[in-house]
Structure formats: C-alpha cells, structure tokens
Structure 1
Amino acid sequence: MNLDKKTLLITGIDDFIGLRAAELAIAQGMKVRGLQSSSDRKIPQNLNVEAIAGNITDPKIAQKACQGVDIVLHTAQLTQEAGPIKEFREINVNGTLNIAKAAKNAGVKTFVHLSSAMVYGFDYPDGVSETGPLSGDNNPYCQTKIEAEQELIPLNAPPDFGVIVIRAGDVYGPGCIPWIIRPLLMMRQKLFAYANDGQGVINHLYIDNLIDAIFLAIQKEAYGEVFNITDGQQTSWKEYFMRLAATEGLQAPMSVPKDEIKLFLKIRSQGQKLFRKKADILPESVDFMTRPYAYSITKAQTLLDYKPKIDLEEGLRRTSEWVQKTDIQKLAK
C-alpha cells in the first residue's frame, strides 16, 4: 500500500505515541485525523490535523471519526501499572472493539492495533516470540491487552478489513512519562533506585523506530499478523537508568532489593492518598522494571524487513535535547 495521500485516523493523538505518529505520517504525505480524549490537551497548531474530541467507547464518536478514513492507528489505551480491572476493560477492550467495529462499518481498509509486549507478563522465556506464551500475571494492563487482541483478530477479513497487531516494547523518547519523565524527576530528588542490581533486560523502543515498523506493516499489508517490535538491543535495566541519569549529569541511581522498593512505594502512595494526591508511581511499577529477558523481533525483521534506525545512544541524545527545553514537571501531572 502506498501511504501518500491516504487518510489516517489516530486514536489517542494527544498522547506521546499518537502525536509523534501524526508528525511522521504528515511527513510521509498522509492526511491525519485525530481522536483525542480531551479537548483540554492542545495539539500543536503547526500540525495539520483534524482533531475530534471524544471517548473511544462512544459509538457515535467512533462512527464520526472513522468516516472517510483509509487507515486507523489505534493507540488510545489505559496504561497505568495497576487499578480496577473494570476500568482497564472499558478502555482497552471495549473501547478497542468499538473503534474497530466502527472502522469496519465505515469501510476502513487497514486497522493497526497498538498492543504491548506486556501480553507476555513478567516471567517469560528468553527470546519469546509472537506465539507466546501469553500471561496476564494478575495485572489488569497485561490481562486487558491480551483480551483486546483476542477480540480483534477474528475481525480480520482482508481485502475489505485488515487487522495488524503491534506488540511494542518499552517505548521511550521525547514526551515519554514512564521511561523518561518519571524516572528523571525522581532522580532529581535522589529518590530513584533500580531493583536487584538492575538485572534483566529493558526492551527499549525509540518512538520513531516504532512508527517506522507500523508504516512498514501497513505498506506490506501484513493483515492478520502480530509483531513484536523493539530496538533489538539487549540493554540491562542498570545500564539504561545509568545512561539516562548521565544525560542530565545526575548522580547514578543505586540498587535496592525489589521487595524494599515495593514497600517504599506502597508507603509513599498511601501518604499521597492521605493528602488527596494521585500517586505518582505505584508499587506495581517495579514489576514492569524487573522483567528478565529480551523479546524476539525476528518475525518483524524477516516479514517487514524492519531495521531499527535509532539506537539507544542516539535516542537518549535526542530525548535529552528535548528535556533541556521542556518543563517535564508539568507533563508528569
């Protein structure tokens, strides 16, 4: 499929991934429409995007957003580390299915679902491929990302309606809260620590590499396929956070046993609740930051000819440039 002049709907366009996808899509000659959860978040005026405010669970909004669209890139999701599974299901499963059905009814040809490598849970085989095993690991985010995929795949019916699933690794870059903004803010306060000597692997994925992979999958019309996408580098948690600290000349974070970090964060979040503040980081986040192994991207390399263009050094350099001119404290709220 030639992307030039195609109309692309991006759900969650006001978030980190959706906004960058819009910028790169426009650079490729695509027309972009965006569905944003709130009209409060301003899309840059220099970005030529038709914005629609509304919830992905609203059938009328979904129908309106999908009219006259060639491709849907569905990035909107609830990404907290923990919480009531009912809330996750409403957005991650029901919202996804609502957008997909509206797209199919509107004659959209391609539906790309941004899933997550978290469908493998927290304890998975080294080099796990798209065939699994999948595990919700009693985490609402992991579980509902699995459920969303299970609901979507049966809708795949090319050439009329093709579904592509992208299981993204740990996406970072300018605007990223979990892997850039949140740890940097805690490092500035000397509150950040990594667990268990920083063992295990962060499956980092620079934002532009992710968008490249998505565009490749669309161009190759890889309908009915599921792809793991990462930068393909084996980087330990310790190395990642040490390098992140170095971008600001901050003191290197220390290592603390996993159980101690969880206890600290539990007490911290309870204290924030007492003062009617939203917890800035949940104890469950430690599970996300101690995963053991790399995911395999062999399938994407083989079928899509996916070659990550931006390595960790360059990705952190670009991100650091953005951090220097941005008040990241405001973005963390």
Structure 2
Amino acid sequence: MKLLITGYSGFVGSNLVEQLQGNYQLNLLGRKQSNFGNVFTHNLDSSSLYNEALVNVDVVVHCAARVHIMDDVASDPLNEFRAVNTHGTLNLAKQAVAAGVKRFIFLSSIKVNGESTSDQASFTASDKSAAEDPYGISKAEAEQQLLDLSKQTSMEVVIIRPPLVYGEGVKANFASLMRFVGKGLPLPFRAISNNKRSLVSVYNLVDLIKVCIEHPKAANQVFLASDDHDLSTAEMVALMAKVQNKKNFALPVPVWCFKLAGKLLNKSDVIDRLTGSLQLDITHTKNTLDWKPPYSVEHGFKLAVEKPSTK
C-alpha cells in the first residue's frame, strides 16, 4: 500500500512517518528533505498540482495546516487560515479523487467543537460545530467540504479531532510549563484542581492514525482523540514535577485571583484555558475501531521532558 503524507516534517507528521516507514511505501508532500520517503515539493494552496505525488497512492494522511497562532497579526486571519486549511485541503482532496485515492484522513482539531466544556458535557464526535476562532472555523469548513465530497465520490474520508498534542519535541505553552516546573520554581496552580482537560500524546495519536489507515469501519467517520485520562491543571503540574523528579512547589492561589487578573490585563481567554475545562468523550472512537490509547499519560509526559531533539 502506498501513502501520501502531508505535514511530514511537523510534530505529528514526523512521528507518524517514523512509525510508518518500512511498512508502507511513502510519498511525502512538503518543502523539507526526508530520509523516509519520496519527497514532492509543493505548497498547500488552492492552485498547486499534486499529480506526481498522488500516482498509485491508496491513502492520503493530511497533517499539514496553517496552525493556530497566538496573537495573530494577519490583517484577515480567517482568510489566511481558509487559504491553507480549507481551500488547500479541498484542492488536494479533489485531486486525490481524480487520482483514484481510496481514503483521505484529515487531521482536524477539537476547536471545531468549541473552546470549552466548563459549563457543559464533554465534546462528542456528533456535536455540531461551534468553532469560535479563525483556525477552528477553517478546520470546520474543511471537514464539511470533505464529507460532502465523500458523498459525491467513492473516496472515503476519515476525520480526527485531537486536543493539545504533546510528547518529545513539543513546543509552545506545554514546553514552557514543563521547563518552569523542572526549574523548581514555585508556581501558583495548586488550587486549579476542579477543572479537567483532555490531552493526547503524539504516540497515542499516531497509533490512532495508523488504525484509521486500514480499518474498514473508519470510513466516513469523525473521531475524537485523547489519552482517555483527563487532568486538572494542578494534576498536570504535579505530574510534570514527578516525571522530572522535582518537588511540586505549586502555591494555592485561588482561581478567582486568576480570573480577576485576566480581566484587568484583558487576557480572560488565556485564563479560561488555564482554569477551565475541555473534555473529550472518545467512546465513539473506542467502540467503532475497537481501539484504546496504548500509552499512559505518564509515558507521554516523561518523553516530553525537554532534551535535544532528534527530529
């Protein structure tokens, strides 16, 4: 079986390629060199032609995207996200149909469901889209257009929506928090213990993608992905300390103090992510695919401890 992987040099894509190489023929669509497959250099947009990259390909695993950007300075962020995540995805998918591709796996985002479950039940795969920011909206639109395309053609579509993905080489806020905990600094998060957040290690996400490549029941389905072990912010910090053999010097600053600071600094959205809940119900994923996350949260946290990247 031959696969086309987009976004192969990214965090998820690079881990996926390492797991797939040797078991499948790999075509890689992107702009960086790789030792694991045939590289085809293209941008992801509404006009590029991917004919050569799609020759004899059975399954496309589409990981490439314009990712969520904090403090985006683009004059029209939604248009920028749509150009890549919506129009670029549909362009690739339509060409995949013409090339005879059997299945198109789209790595989407839980932001399609919304930003928080603090005042509601856990997100499910059957929820209607409640995307709020440009990134989530662009992913939601791509999902709908892909599902419409699957109804009009013989190509199967599989959509996977992960929350925050972590593991060795993770960057951004997760890596920063891990570093602060590793330095033994007293952090004010002990009282943030009543929220719950779903995460997914890149190792569990890659395992799910591997299952979706060939599982017959994955066709034309939407799957949520998580470690199936939700953590409060306080539990997350405690586990970060444990895997680094550090004492947990978390201070019990009341949640209301964070919320007040958020209002005063006009950062309420940041505080909501810190103190609020975002939970995924992956029952549909587990039951449909007879799958459960093979790796524990602690396994992923241990590998996420900062060390020289090999990727």
Per the shorter chain, which TM-score range? Answer: 0.7 to 0.9
Q: Is the 8 A contact 2:237 2:248 kept in 1?
A: no
Residue in 2 aligned with 1:3? none
**Alignment match, 2:307:** 324
Q: Is the 8 A contact 1:173 1:206 kept in 2?
A: yes
2:36 aligns with one of 48, 64, 78: 48
**Cα deviation, residue 235, structure 1:** 1.3
Structure 1 residues 227-266: aligned runs within 5 Å: 227-248=223-244, 249=246, 252=249, 254=251, 255=253, 257-258=258-259, 260=261
Relative to structure 1, the CA distance from residue 74 to residue 193 in structure 2 (aligned partners, 3 Å threshold; closer, same or farther) is farther
Distance 2:189 2:99 in 1: 47
Aligned to 2:99: 106
Moved more, 256-265 or 229-238: 256-265
The answer to whether structure 1 residue 74 and structure 2 residue 62 are counterparts is yes
What residue in structure 2 maps to residue 170 of structure 1? 164
Amino acid at match of 1:324: K
Q: Deviations over 1:280-306 (max 9, x none)?
A: xxx855444444142111111111011
* Number of aligned positions between the proteins: 297
8 Å CA contact retained: 1:196, 1:257 = no
1:162 deviates by 0.6
Q: How far, CA to CA, are the matches of 1:285 and 1:96 in structure 2?
A: 29
| C-alpha distance after superposition, 1:29-74 (max 9, x if no partner) | 11112122x43xx54xxx4222223211153343333232111111
**Structure 2 counterpart SS, 1:244:** helix
Report percent identity of matched pairs: 27
SS of 1:112's equivalent?
A: strand
C-alpha contact (below 8 Å) 2:109/2:139 kept by paired residues:
yes
CA distance in 2, matches of 1:252, 1:13: 38
Residue aligned with 1:62, SS: coil
Q: Contact 1:56/1:95 (CA < 8 Å) preserved in 2?
A: yes
Cα pair distance change 1:34/1:289, threshold 3 Å: farther
**Which position in structure 1 is the counterpart of 2:154?**
160
- Work out whether 1:23 is the aligned partner of 2:6: no
| Alpha-carbon distance in structure 2 between the residues aligned to 1:85 and 1:158 | 27
Q: Distance in 2 between matches of 1:309 and 1:55?
A: 34
Q: TM-score with structure 2 length normalisation?
A: 0.83
Between 209-218 and 176-185, the greater mean CA deviation after superposition: 176-185
Equivalents in 1 of 2:226, 2:94: separation in Å?
29
Change (3 A) 1:80 1:218: same
State the Cα distance separating 1:193 from its structure 2 match: 5.9
Q: Is this contact kept in 2: 1:88–1:140, CA < 8 A?
A: yes
Matches of 2:19 and 2:46, distance apart in 1? 28
TM-score after normalising by structure 1: 0.78
Give how far 1:264 is off. 5.8
Q: Which runs of 5+ in 1 are unaligned?
A: 1-5, 267-282
State the AA in 1 paired with 2:243: T
Q: Is the 8 A contact 2:46 2:87 kept in 1?
A: no
2:278 & 2:294 partners in 1: Cα distance?
22
Q: Tell me which of 184, 203, 208 is aligned to 2:178.
A: 184
Native 8 Å contact 2:192 2:232 kept in 1: no
Structure 1 residue 18 displacement after superposition: 0.4
Tell me the alpha carbon deviations over residues 210-242 of structure 1, each in whole angstroms, 9 at most, x when there is no partner.
121122222223211101111111211221133
Cα deviation for residue 133 of structure 1 reads 3.7
